[in-house]
Amino acid sequence: MSFDPAPWTDTKKTARLVLDDGTVISGVGLGATGSAPGEVCFNTAMTGYQEILTDPSYAGQIITFTFPHIGNIGANAEDTETSNLASRSGVRGCVLRAEITGPSNYRAAQNFDAWLKARGIIAISGVDTRALTARIRDKGMPNAVIAHEPSGEFDIEKLRAEAKAWPGLLGLDLVPDVTSGQSYTWDETRWVWDKGYGRNEAPEFHVVAIDYGLKRNILRCLASAGCKVTVVPATTKAADILDRKPDGVFLSNGPGDPAATGEYAVPEIRKLVDSGLPVFGICLGHQMLGLALGATTRKMHQGHHGANHPVKDFTTNKVEITSMNHGFTVDRETLPKGVVETHVSLFDNTNCGLELEGRPVFSVQYHPEASPGPQDSHYLFTRFVNKMRERQGVPLKSER
């Protein structure tokens, strides 16, 4: 398997990706300089690289983009998904096939290389990303160190040792790196062509969203569904959440091992479930809800990262194309009695959704808010609102 740089790239090799098995991949450095360890995954989305690189769920990871042309539409302030503006997303770096070109889009406000520098993200271009993706598919997601040094001089043995010594994501709680440090409210709604983002000026329900690494578009989807949203830090106690008298509670996406974060989050989630309030979880929130209900989670071989994943919704018997980003999964064989599997991946049959019988509690593994990705699953935010409507005896809205 060859990892030679792209044949058209004759620029000085100023970057290295060093895998934990000792493999050294050379390329042209972009973005920030320095080095950073992380787990290498691949993402198959063809659009939305800025949203991907600012998704807090990618904390601790180095993203290999399978689509070759990344950066060609530049970057802007609107497409950032990190909801906690005081922190960066936590992504360690990115691996690209082609060199970054000048931006060609009317919304571009900054060159992608400059944007990477500003966010402290190291990039390497000129890499055979198909070969690297095949390696991940066959052997799993490796730990690695990505390094960018303008001189092109590296201490390879030191980088190899660092890659081998990095502990990996199993057992790692990364939520403290991306959660908000204080509570705040949110009323911005989804983006509309030629209008931009709007405001929810007449909210129908109050939702408390626990921030394990929230994406902005989740908050926008909740606001667009008629919710006033109060965001609280990941360590907020259930009693403090209930004191705010919400109509529903949202468990957000986020990075790392759900079992590690669950040590302090799961007991509070159990209390929220027991309160009788509607509860909706996405991604890490789904995994920790599964743990709270008695299931277990496990690390995946290559994970799911992309915007083209088919999922079967057993509640509607329809297939939807979804956006995914996760390296852990709820073990469907461990779902206890009373916890129903509602969604399943049509790629590998892993669990993608659950609900608690007799309670207004449900979750999905994928990202119904997309950004990037298809909007097939936006109906789930209406489903969440309908749980609150049903509890208050208000007529339900159509999910489609």
**pLDDT value at residue 7:** 44
Q: What is the pLDDT of residues 140-176, one digit of tens each?
A: 999 999 999 999 999 999 999 999 999 999 999 999 9
Distance CA 26, CA 132 (A): 12
**Domain 15-165, what fold?**
Glucose Oxidase; domain 1 (3.50.30)
Percentage with pLDDT > 90 across the chain = 91
Distance CA 355, CA 363 (A): 7
Distance CA 239, CA 373 (A): 36
Q: What is the pLDDT of residues 93-119, one digit of tens each?
A: 999 999 998 899 999 999 999 999 999
| 8 A C-beta contact, residue 257 and residue 173 | yes
Q: HSE-up of 12 (CA within 13 Å, CB side)? A: 7
Q: Which tokens hold the place of 139?
A: 């052997």
Lowest mean pLDDT of 4-8, 270-274, 318-322, 350-354, name the range: 4-8
Place of tokens 């996405």: 282
Instruction: Flag whether pLDDT at 371 surpasses 90.
Output: yes
pLDDT-derived band at 85 (thresholds 50, 70, 90) equals low
pLDDT-derived band at 8 (thresholds 50, 70, 90) equals very low
**pLDDT value at residue 400:** 75
Distance CA 94, CA 140 (A): 17
**pLDDT value at residue 196:** 87
State pTM to two decimals.
0.95
Query: 3-class SS at 169?
Result: coil
- Indicate the average pLDDT of the chain: 94
Please list the residues that pair with 62 across neighbouring strands: 40, 93
Per-residue H/E/C for 122-136: EEEECCCHHHHHHHH
The residue annotated as part of the active site, out of 41, 94, 227, 283, is: 283
**pLDDT value at residue 87:** 58
Distance CA 136, CA 1 (A): 12
Domain with CATH 3.50.30.20 in the chain: 15-165
Distance CA 315, CA 59 (A): 32
The residue annotated as part of the active site, out of 286, 305, 367, 378, is: 367
Per the annotation, the verdict on 221 as an active-site residue is no
Buried b (16+ CB within 10 A) or exposed e, 200-210: beebebbbbbb
pLDDT-derived band at 243 (thresholds 50, 70, 90) equals very high
Instruction: Flag whether pLDDT at 346 surpasses 90.
Output: yes
**Domain 175-392, what fold?**
Rossmann fold (3.40.50)
Q: Which tokens hold the place of 129?
A: 């990303």
The residue annotated as part of the active site, out of 51, 81, 268, 369, is: 369
Beta strands in the chain (DSSP E): 15-19, 24-31, 34-43, 61-65, 93-95, 122-125, 143-148, 184-186, 188-192, 196-199, 205-211, 227-233, 248-251, 279-282, 297-313, 318-330, 339-345, 351-356, 361-364
Instruction: Flag whether pLDDT at 227 surpasses 70.
Output: yes
Per the annotation, the verdict on 227 as an active-site residue is no
Q: What is the pLDDT of residues 251-305, one digit of tens each?
A: 999 999 999 999 999 999 999 999 999 999 999 999 999 999 999 999 999 999 9
Q: How far apart are the first and last CA of the chain?
A: 47
Q: Find the Cα–Cα–Cα–Cα dihedral 347, 359, 189, 90, rounded to 10°.
A: -60
Q: How far is CA 121 from CA 58, 61, 113, 230, in A?
A: 12, 11, 9, 30
Q: DSSP per residue over 38-79, as a string?
A: EEEEEE--SS-HHHHHT-GGGTTEEEEESSS--STT-B-STT
Per the annotation, the verdict on 94 as an active-site residue is no
Q: Which tokens hold the place of 219?
A: 């908050």
Distance CA 100, CA 244 (A): 47
Q: How far is CA 359 from CA 88, 124, 278, 356, in A?
A: 36, 48, 8, 6
Domain with CATH 3.40.50.880 in the chain: 175-392
